[in-house]
Structure 1
Amino acid sequence: MDWSAAVLLVLVLLPPPPCAPDDRLVVGKTLSPGATIVSDGGGFALGFFSPANSTSSPANKLYLGIWYADVPTLTVVWVANRGTPATNTTSSTAPTLSLTNTSNLVLSDASGVVLWTTDVTGYSPAAAVLLDTGNLVIRSPNGTALWQSFEHPADSFLPGMRIGIAYGARAGERLVSWKAPGDPSPGRFAYGVDPDTALQLFLWNGTRPLMRDGPWTGYSVASRYQANASVFVYQAIVSTDQEIYLTYSLSDAAARARLVVTASGHYQLQGWNANSSAWAVLGDWPTWECNRYGHCGPNGYCDNTVDAPTCRCLDGFEPADAEAWAGGAFSRGCRRKEALRCADGFLPLPGMKSPDKFVRVANRTLEECAAECSSNCSCVAYAYANLSTTRTAGDATRCLVWAGDLIDTEKIIGGGVGSDTLHLRLAGSDAAVQGVRGKSNALRIALPTVLTSAILIITGIFLAWFKFNGKRRDNKKGNTKISLVSTSTSDELPEGSPAQDFELPFIKFEDIEAATHNFSEAYKIGQGGFGKVYKAILGGQEVAIKRLSKDSEQGTEEFRNEVILIAKLQHRNLVRLLGCSVEGAEKILIYEYLPNRSLDAILFDSSRKMSLDWPTRFNIIKGVARGLLYLHQDSRLTIVHRDLKAANVLLDAEMKPKIADFGMARIFNDNQKNANTRRVVGTYGYMAPEYAMEGVFSMKSDVYSFGVLILELVTGIRRSSLNKIKGFPNLTIYAWNMWKDGKGKDLADPSIMDTCSLDEVLLCSHMALLCAQENPDDRPLMSSVVLALENGSATLPTPNNPGHYGQGSSDKEQIRDRTDASMNSLTLTNIEGR
């Protein structure tokens, strides 16, 4: 696609302000529409532009951006205010860019409303300098870079720019496409690193992967493109002591070039062709249909070694639907010809792009990696690489193991850079055909005799062990039941509760230990005050395993609550508890594994929050409301959660919410309205005032927390982000004052303005303030909340003053014993999926 034909941009011609036409902006000078800052070499310009000839972005929208100054077709490579354009601009109401005396770049409209800022605090006299690489840098007097646009990319990846892959604080950065060819606001498509695996690059459509590069194998040059006989473009992965990052460079004779994520969902290398005065596409990905993520289905692979790449089944597999496969429909993938056994061997497949959904096992040699997989009957493949070819920080080994289906595998032409040797476990007969098992006839003759003797001996030992261990196991089960009933002396879950006759699978500790490779750090995905959380595979299913710390007394109480409560709760908006383990001092909970992060990890991340458009946020609000209604009214128990917050809302693959962490929940009797506790648990800012100050809690306490959560989803502001609501003690008071002043629509997060329904935003803001009222009796029941959110309401009452109590800006959960007012970290909050 010709980029210049697809995107036509024009500068807004307004009277130029008094700004020097050099390469920098300093304190006291401003940049306004019509004026530009040009890099020292004349390669790039910074200024205002307005997309033209676009129905999706009216011409009166102004954006601050960087474009090529030496290319006649205006091509924007970076946009500052993608989600907050200036609107209805005239020469008297034009926006301005200025550098404050605290080294912060601020873009504001004529009325002083901040549209975009770098959020930097430094020392004067700093300067914002546009470099000839296209990088806008805020420099301190000693030359230190306080902020740079290269660390906040838009849709374009320029030579010299870095995308963090691992170790560094910027790991997980993404390029995000324009919404449409004439609309710079964030689009659906993104390219970058999956922060949870860190070693591979993806092209996404929202949260759905479109294309994936293989896991990094330690190579330096990832790819090379030849534009003509003398021009080369090198893409490389660089490893230092601090980080691993992706970058690329041009040969000296190369013309302008950039990598870009297009609005149509392609990742392209574009080069400027001076002869045709147009951008030429030098590389376009995905190149083939079977290069698309998972196109060949489970256990299939894309064979790129043939002229027309096509799908094939991995060795030992056959098409799951032979007729559909023959007709070119590969989505059902392949199935095993023969079931695996633990003793089966491995077939090396060189020159492969390794599958997705691997687990990295740390600090393993090749031999140890092979043994790791071989000793685990559920392991179906492994791949190894030594990353120490460069100055890799920390563990320089890369042992990857797989369980279950193998997704998105390719055979690479010539086994080029980035290819792996995938060691695939094959069933006995298939392995024998491949020469994997059995090296001599003598061995085949000797094995039956040896095995027969071994089996007899092992059988005898097993029978003796089973007879002895049966009694022991019966005793353990009895002890387990007693411990669940009697370990806690708290007032949170009274003895004799009807919840104690739970039905929940007990998992052997040794099975959990094997699945997590003895609780290897490589499997850890979260950690908190009560222990650690691991991702593993049990019974062929991905699960999250929460191992409580042995020395945490509160952890024992939390464990008991979780087991007794969640085991009886079944709702699509509640996280599912799949099993538990109690052996000795070990207390372990096994949950369903959710592939997206907790809500707070996305909502308060400036780059990832773009995936939370308004329809998604509104659905999350309604889903959490339905989950609370189930707890309060529709389940066989009446339950008060007591710790509802963004960190305890987990998101599944479709961004549907599930309420988690029931360790502090409390069962109410049918006629019970409230309860009192001497242990106040929860998170300041979410806790209702009567609960935080007096220890009195009820269903209306959860309603208050839900109101705060709604405000966070509407505004995109964390309840404790006092720097974003200056002059107000918390988000609730800020929202209340905005509402009183008739500015309810201004509460909406700027990043959702293009996707939001103003009526829905106002409805949610109104309902949030009703939920967060100071008097618990004034707060609505969750049944009323759900009804209003699902059907809308024009007759909602006017909210009274919101509840408020003294709080700091701490974002941590707190526990307060009213007799000694001690503060301690409370619950595990960062269970995050890939």
Structure 2
Amino acid sequence: MRRGLSHDVDSCSSSAALLLLLLLLLATLFSISGGADTLTPDLPLLVDGSTTLTSAGGTFQLGFFNPSGSTNRYVGIWYNRISPQTVVWIANRRSPITTRFGNLSLTTTGALVLTDGNSSILWTSGAPDSSLSNPVAQLFDDGNFAVHESGSGGSDGFAWQSFDFPTDTQLPGMILGRRRLRNGTDLDINITASTSDSDPTPGPFVYGLDLRGDPQLFIWSGTEQYWRAGPWNGRWFSGVPEMVDTANGLLRFDVGPNQTTYFRSDQSSALLRFVMHSSGTVELNVWLESRQSWNRIWYAPKDLCDSLSSCGPNGYCRQIITPQCVCLQGFHPRSPTNWRLRDGTGGCLRTTPLDCRNGTDGFVILRNIKLPDTSRSMVSASLSLDQCRSLCLNNCNCTAYAASNISDGSNGCITWTTSLTDITVYQSSVGQDLYVRLAAADLDSDTSSDRRQNHFVVIIVTLVVSIVVLSCLAFCLWRRMKKRGADIIEATEENDLDLPLFDLGTIRNATFNFSSQNKLGEGGFGPVYRGKIGEDQEIAVKRLSKTSTQGLNEFKNEVTLIAKLQHRNLVRLLGCCVQEEERILVYEYMPNGSLDILLFGYLEVITASSPFPDKKERSSMSLTTFLALDIQELDQIINLLLLFYLDEVKGTILDWRTRYNIIVGIARGLLYLHHDSRFRIIHRDLKASNILLDKDMDPKISDFGMARIFGGDESEANTRRVVGTYGYMSPEYIMDGIFSIKSDVFSFGVLVLEIISGKKNRGVYHGSHNSNLLGHIWNLWKESQCMDFVDKNIGHSFSEIEVLRCIKIGLLCVQDRAEDRPTMPLVLTMLSSTGDIALLPEPKQPGFFSKRDLMSEIYLSSSMSNHQDSSASNQITITNIEGR
């Protein structure tokens, strides 16, 4: 009896298994085959990945996928022909499939339903906003997945569409803002960042349109406003001047009262996407088919001025210039103490109350700005600018006005009746005009800040205390500089250079009389200022410091050397000035600054160049020296605090493609110096701070003050005076004073490895071995773990083969023996090669030996201690990395 019962049970179990297998087979047979673009009620989409939808043009696919680093399954849409997989929409962000079974189906009423292996509903699109008799769900070539009546092609509108429920990506044609559905309800549409790359659950950052007042694009962090793009002015969003005339014709915007949409231009077939990252950054990417990678066109936030209302009510923020926060004319800091400490969040107060009754108020123009927050402003699109002025004057509560549309002149009217917040003044001639209302007493005076007054008091006291000592020192320096300056002028004239001579008055006007607000940085030569000549020519002005001991030689070297050089990867010298004891070099301005700041971060670079003395030196300071240093320290500390925030943001600028282009550009510049220019030139101080980046992030080698010209037959030379930057100098140069083109190759190799790792060579990266960067990468290379060396800020979109090739080339360039290192023509050949990297020579051990490092330190210490001894046979000058 038991045997029969057991047999029956086994038979039942077998039958159930066969039935389940049959059902799965039938589901597979009647599921969607790969390549179709339409989902119907009788053809589900299976979780096993065997079935997907592909849009008619082949641009997008829809199916099940696993995020990188996760075993969860999601329904998503991604680009069909792009690798690595780039997902643009996810249905079940909050409810992943965690089992082996599941499917996406369409009901006969037009609802999309996602179920797991237990038939539990994980996600549904809900009932469509219109009734359908024969629904289908179709994936279109713009990336939209929509439910509509079969046979209509969506011509009568969609009953439901994925474009109404975006995730972290806005595609062309997808609106942000508010849309009225056919059932009469309003739908607010935003994009929301994921929690992480492996977890698409919605994170705290949201990018969308705020419809209050004059609508504006915002990023929110939770419920707090995080970044503001400003209102649309007919040509760009007020806070995004980089997109003037819509990114040079690549895309166009359609902005209505309650929504904004962007489209590819009629001439563009490029793939474009706005994406909101988990870090809180939104960026516009374009796919470069030739490079097979995404290229970032624009991103935000990117600097301190992008922090919402960083300078508080009635203050404005200035990009690059320090201090960044300034009160509007006619206003003063609410808290002078906080203002001096660079905390501008408290904002500014009006100095003189408005006099609306007697009609004596007027307006001051603030030009090239991002308009204040328009959430509580009033917009009258039909008024002219003159009518707008009258409207503001007749309203006693009106604080400012501006044009709402600048696409064809200045039309429309925006008026503010509250404090003016979140204003940025741009350095270039972009932005709009804002008319700020002031009392008559404040119209002709700038009471924007009492910071200057306080600093003037400290400076005057310092000067009075130190006048006797400094006057003697200044007289001695003046006589010495005058004599050497005459020698420089004579030498310059003798060379008969084809180099323009700038008038000192022109340079003073261009730099606002060498204003500290225009100062970009300072090196061994002296301070560097930003200036502007004419309407649009921006310049960088390098001014020889009065106390510089090495600067005069550098000045002569650059004037006689770089003027002869012309290459796209060398910074261009526009001219010089040798007038009234001034020695000035004028260069083309590089908008993206120096590579070291982007690569290592603001905080690291500024700290490395800090002038702070140690405790022992400080204890022996005179009162005069301490007072003079106190101001510098205060500015330095405040700058460090302000720039700490920027480190995380700046790290994201250098993706792999940008870094690779910088490496190739530097290599081409060195090839020109070593082999293709009229003279063979050894730079001798190639380092990250001497690589400047133009507006397109193309690198340009700068600072030729230490360079040497070789004769046609010369290949190396010996010097008794070693100059350069420790960490970039080759072993034979440090130890024996021998330099050649291979010295520059060594420096280039260090630069390549720093660019890949995002770290300085000078540092300990493995405590047990006391290894610097070269030692660290050499150990990783021997253990085949080089990808651990790559900077985490590069992201995931890069070719491992290309990175490994560059690491190997970098190691070949830093080999200990100069004869083992490749020349720059060979380096460029290896960089452009697409063959197997195993075909490249195997690198030998770099110049990082512990014994050599120890001897180098002893040698450096000895040389520095004998620096003032004229009888010393060798001297060394070490250059620190300076912020620009």
The normalised TM-score by structure 2 is 0.46
Q: Which has the larger radius of gyration?
A: 2
As a proportion of its length, which structure holds more helix? 2
